[in-house]
Amino acid sequence: MRSWTVNPPNIEITGLENHSLRIFDSKTQRINLIPKQAEPIQIYVCGITPYDSAHLGHAFTYLAFDLMIRAMRVTKQNVIYVQNVTDIDDPLFERSRKTNKKWTSIVDDQLEIYRKDMQALNIMAPDHFVGVVENIDTINDEIEKTIKRKLTYQLGTKWYFQTRKANKSLLVKDVEDHELITLANERGCDTDTPGKLNAIDPIVWKESKEDEPSWNRDFGTGRPGWHIQCISLANKYAKLPLHIQGGGKDLIFPHHAMCEEQAMALGLGDLATNYCHVGMVSYQGSKMSKSKGNLVFVHELINKGISPMVIRTCLMLNHWQSDWEFQEVDIIKAEKLLEKINTNLTGKYFSRNEFDFILESMLNNIQTPKILEFLSQLDPDKNDERSVPTDTVLSALLGLDLESV
Ligand SMILES: [Zn+2]
């Protein structure tokens, strides 16, 4: 898919090769080292379903991975970054029916806004920005394998993956079954379909409705389910096991747990060694969601004249793992902070100690609130030996392009 362009971090500072990123992993519930290696680090981040444009919650998610990738690239670690687009999914077709607009036009329009938003926020583009339709043969081949290996069962025109207790994902090992069913139900899984062997068994293939796209295969005429899409795309565009599989916290279950279990059953091994789940952004008292209608869209903020760098700063005032509530006053706070940073630091130099503090705070689980607090209190006219250009560091590590503010 057509992606967008953001300049890669460009920084020439010696002695960074020995540094590595440490990042919180949801599966082990601890901060893990991503060891330096000659081969690129493999990152797969679950992308948008393009039936609506990016709200602040999406931006917060993709910003988190942008920051991790910046930190790694600054320390001379190559990365392969894959992000998918779920351009085959129920909500998209529902939106098409509701608006009487062709689903392909919705995808085209929303992706255009998404690309512009990401570019404006200086969020690094993936190396592979990949959709379902353009990879449909790969995905359907994987479904065929799943069916042939008897990992599935058929109910009417649907094929379900059979989850097994013994393979319960470590991501949800401490969660009771009845809680999983509730979660799966809330997140679109048809838990009460009669005949299912386990209420949480996910669909790998189902018949398309008349106005939906469909493909002919030996096992039926229809379209793929969600989890198998990501497994197939990760396997095609990245080298497994991924070093990081990422997304919002709401993807832990069923999506990432089911991806992990299905990949294992398919013989692909561990899908990922680390899972990074980004905190949820709420607004007016509850998590931003389509159903509640409490969405704050990035392009709407930009259209109101708010600088994308202010929006980026506003997001970075929150640690990537934290759940937080957006309030309009946050924009004013970010504006003031950015103005201060701009006035005090543009065209100046960090001392090596100051630079090391910023880099270390990034590498130690991306602590942007701590860095912004530090920057706000810096006195750039202090007498230390000042050696590292501020603009280069802020741009490369934090994606803050001060000139454009
Ligand atoms: Zn995914």
Question: What 3-state DSSP class applies to 275?
Answer: strand
**Tens of each residue's pLDDT in the chain, 405 residues:** 999 999 999 898 888 989 999 999 999 999 999 999 999 999 999 999 999 888 999 999 999 999 999 999 999 999 999 999 999 999 999 999 999 999 999 999 999 999 999 999 999 999 999 999 999 999 999 999 999 999 999 999 999 999 987 778 889 988 999 999 999 999 889 999 999 999 999 999 999 999 999 999 999 999 999 999 999 999 999 999 999 999 999 999 999 999 999 999 999 999 999 999 999 999 999 988 877 889 999 999 999 999 999 999 999 999 999 999 999 999 999 999 999 999 999 999 999 999 999 999 999 999 999 999 999 999 877 877 888 999 999 999 999 998 766
Alpha carbons 25 and 395: distance in angstroms, whole number: 27
Question: What 3-state DSSP class applies to 132?
Answer: coil
CATH for 21-310 is: 3.40.50.620
For domain 329-404, is the CATH number 1.20.120? yes
List the one residue out of 270, 322, 228 whose CA is nearest residue 42: 270
The answer to whether the beta carbons of residues 160 and 204 sit under 8 Å apart is yes
Ligand 1 centroid to Cα of residue 378, in Å, is 41
Question: Which segments of the chain belong to CATH 1.20.120?
Answer: 329-404
Ligand 1 centroid to Cα of residue 149, in Å, is 23
Ligand 1 centroid to Cα of residue 387, in Å, is 43
Question: Which segments of the chain belong to CATH 3.40.50.620?
Answer: 21-310
Alpha carbons 90 and 109: distance in angstroms, whole number: 18
Ligand 1 centroid to Cα of residue 255, in Å, is 7
Query: pTM for this one?
Result: 0.97
DSSP string, 34-53: E---SSPEEEEE----TTS-
| End-to-end alpha carbon distance in the chain | 30
Ligand 1 centroid to Cα of residue 86, in Å, is 8
Ligand 1 centroid to Cα of residue 258, in Å, is 10
Q: What are phi and psi of 187, to 5 degrees?
A: -105, 30
CA distances (Å), origin 7, targets 21, 36, 48, 120, 140? 21, 23, 22, 12, 35
Alpha carbons 396 and 386: distance in angstroms, whole number: 18
Ligand 1 centroid to Cα of residue 46, in Å, is 4
Cβ atoms within 10 Å, residue 89:
21
Alpha carbons 27 and 281: distance in angstroms, whole number: 22
Ligand 1 centroid to Cα of residue 269, in Å, is 17
